Amino acid sequence: MDLKSEKSSVSQLNFDKLETASETKMWTVQSLTEVHLRELLTKFPDLLKYIIEKDIIPFINDNARIEQDDASISVIGPNNQRWKIISGHGKQEIRIDLTDINDPIITIKADDNNPEEMRGEKITKTFLGKCIIKKCGNEGNTKNESMRKLLQVAMYLPDQYEKRILKNAKVYIYDSMETLILVSGDGRNSFVINSENGNPKLKCSKSEKKYPSKIKLFGCSCLVLIGFTLILLFPCHFCVMSFSGFILWKTWKWRNR
């Protein structure tokens, strides 16, 4: 089964059959390594198994920041179900929001050495809207208003940059009180949002080169080829047309002196 059909089958799970959580289901492991997480898979519903294999294990394997022996993974899913996996004292907190299973958001809470990080599949307006709600609450809520303004500036990114760039991007948001990092893919394209003299500013600090449009190149090549072919087939007609055009152009210039 390919990823697309697998994703579709997970999205069609009947969540009404899942119990509404009255308390958080919790497991303790020696370390948040792939081996220990896979040992727990049989204890989870299909929804969580899929997300652990597709998103959580690759995320933890690729993220050197995570202290695997002293961290916790808190998951909130459909029907407000909650799960928690803890290693050590669970000092480093990772939160996973599965309320939209097709677009999970992974958050690493800030610690002594690193700012908070929120990760999605792509930097889209949908993802950014969820980040605003998570950090600042719904519209009208005055909580974290300065961060809300900076995140709203990030909403311009999907309008200004190609999808392929935002699929591998890292957005650094510097508020006066905290720093927030939004990440997708390998984060190779970097953006910075901060406030200058009270005005939010968006800057691109590193970006892949834009590929020239294949359509434009193809169209340009076709025009050159057609023009060259016409000259070869009808040289006399081309000369007459060129001479007539030259006379008309000179006449127009003389009349408009």
8 A C-beta contact, residue 200 and residue 191:
no
pLDDT at 214: 43
pTM comes to: 0.68
Residues 158 and 221 in one domain: yes
Least confident of 11-25, 69-83, 140-154, 241-255: 11-25
178-190: pLDDT as tens digits: 999 999 988 999 9
Residues 79 and 158 in one domain: no
- Average pLDDT over the chain, rounded to an integer: 78
| CB neighbour list of residue 187: distance below 8 Å, 6 or more residues apart | 168, 169, 170
pLDDT interval class at 113 (50, 70, 90) = confident
Residues 148 and 75 in one domain: no
Instruction: Give CA separation, 131 vs 105, 117, 123, in Å.
Output: 9, 10, 10
Residues 35 and 78 in one domain: yes
Residues 120 and 216 in one domain: yes
Residues 23 and 82 in one domain: yes
Residues 132 and 165 in one domain: yes
Residues 119 and 224 in one domain: yes
H-helix or E-strand spanning residue 71: strand 71-76
Does 36 map to a domain?
Answer: yes
pLDDT over 70 at 65, yes or no: yes
pLDDT over 70 at 213, yes or no: no
- What is the rounded CA–CA span in Å between residue 192 and residue 194? 7
- What is the rounded CA–CA span in Å between residue 225 and residue 23? 71
Where among 76, 102, 128 does a domain terminate? 102
pLDDT at 190: 94
226-254: pLDDT as tens digits: 655 655 665 555 555 555 555 555 565 65
The number of folded domains in the chain is: 2
| Strand 25-29 relative to strand 179-184, pairing | unpaired
* Domain limits for position 221: 115-234
CA 167, distance to chain mean position in Å, is 5
pLDDT interval class at 145 (50, 70, 90) = confident
pLDDT at 170: 95
